[in-house]
Amino acid sequence: MPPSIGVTTQVIRQAKWYKHVDEFGLGAIEINRQNSKLHFNHYFLEKVKDYLGGLDLSIHSGTAGIFQPHEVFTKANLAILAAELEVCRFLGAGQFVFHLGDGFLSPNDKKRLRDVIANAEDLGVQMLYESNSLLVSDYAYDILASFPTLDYVLDLGHLNNGHCVGRLGRGIAEFVEQVRSRVTYVHACNNHGLHDDHDGLDSGTLDWRGVLDMLDLSRVSKIIIEVRQAGMVEESTRALRRYLAGRSTPTASGANTSPLVEQAKPRAIPLPISCDALNSEAGQHPIPPEFAA
């Protein structure tokens, strides 16, 4: 079965955003708490739940880097995470997307994150890790190696930014090949490789079709259109539907040659035009042995 196509609530510029989610005609909705009000209030959540019934929900955390130099801030973020997971359970949201700060977590912070993940599992919520807007492969590798049950959100815009400014640390094809077995959720947008612009899929420099070609889409439950304006949603939805239809078209003999069935074989991804002078293969780091396939 191909992934469900959904949209983020960040495109809804209304205080009562929950009254407008059905305007896109998509069955999957990601509630972004950084942009959309989702109070920790039982009466408010009951009202939201009435509007969102029947939709396939996920929630994007409102935290921005959980573990901070000031312990009081870290404790506050951990408390927010616990409350957000309870909101997931209350609304029936099956996935919860979160970010970490740049850098490597300390052993103690990894222990605390394991406690959060265990709590999510007890509540029946799948936690999904997403890299930051300038994607650094080594940070992603470390988290995925440290938390074997944690799946990964591949954000196409973050991938393009990390690549173009030289922070990814390796080629796009190599990175995607290493994380593809953990990618179960995709944020779909594009940009020109310098800022997280959240442009439409065909309005940037990333060959997003080439990246999706390398994924095992049978493992991907949702592709969430994460653009900045509501007007960009329809065009990106059409582009995604055309792409997914091509991935699942049977041959004349009736055999399905789609990578949805067969293991995808990564192809060379052309360097985005704006990145030609910004990247080279020299000086890239080896893949950590504990993460290598």
Q: What is the CATH number of the domain that holds 182?
A: 3.20.20.150
CA distance from start to end of the chain: 25
pLDDT confidence tier of residue 275, bands split at 50, 70 and 90: low
DSSP run (H or E) holding 267: none
Structure confidence by residue, pLDDT tens digits, 18-60: 999 999 999 999 999 999 999 999 999 999 999 999 999 999 9
List beta partners, residue 262.
none
- Least trusted range by pLDDT, from 108-122, 131-145, 183-197, 235-249: 235-249
Model pLDDT, residue 285: 40
User: Quick check: 289 pLDDT over 70?
Assistant: no
Higher pLDDT, 255 or 106: 106
Within 10 A of 43 (CB to CB), how many other CB atoms are there?
A: 7
Residue 283: which region, alpha, beta or left (left: phi > 0; alpha: psi -120 to 50)?
Answer: left
pLDDT band at residue 194, thresholds of 50, 70 and 90?
Answer: very high
Residue 284 lies in a domain: no
Global pTM? Answer: 0.87
The verdict on residue 10 lying in a domain is yes
Query: Which tokens hold the place of 234?
Result: 């329809």
Beta strands in 36-125 (DSSP E): 56-60, 95-98
Note the residue count of the chain. 293
CA distances from 260 to 137, 143, 179, 180 (A): 25, 27, 17, 13
Model confidence at 176, pLDDT cuts 50, 70, 90, reads very high
How many structural domains does the chain have? Answer: 1
Estimate the crossing angle of helix 71-91 against helix 107-123, to 10 degrees: 20
Which residues are 8's β-sheet partners?
A: 30
The pLDDT tens digits of the residues spanning 65-108 come to 999 999 999 999 999 999 999 999 999 999 999 999 999 999 99
Q: Is residue 209 one of the residues assigned to a domain?
A: yes
Reported as a pLDDT band with limits 50, 70 and 90, residue 268 is very low
Q: Does the pLDDT of residue 227 top 50, yes or no?
A: yes
- Work out the average pLDDT over 209-223: 97
What is the residue range of 96's domain? 4-275
Q: Which residues pair with 250 in a beta bridge?
A: 256
- Residue 252 in any domain: the answer is yes
Tell me which amino acid residue 151 is: D
Picking from 11-15, 151-155, 227-231, 254-258, which range would have the lowest pLDDT averaged per residue?
Answer: 254-258
Strands of the chain, DSSP E: 4-8, 28-32, 56-60, 95-98, 126-130, 151-155, 183-188, 222-225
**Residue 1's pLDDT band (cuts 50, 70, 90):** confident
pLDDT value at residue 281: 38
pLDDT at 135 over 50: yes
**264 found inside a domain:** yes
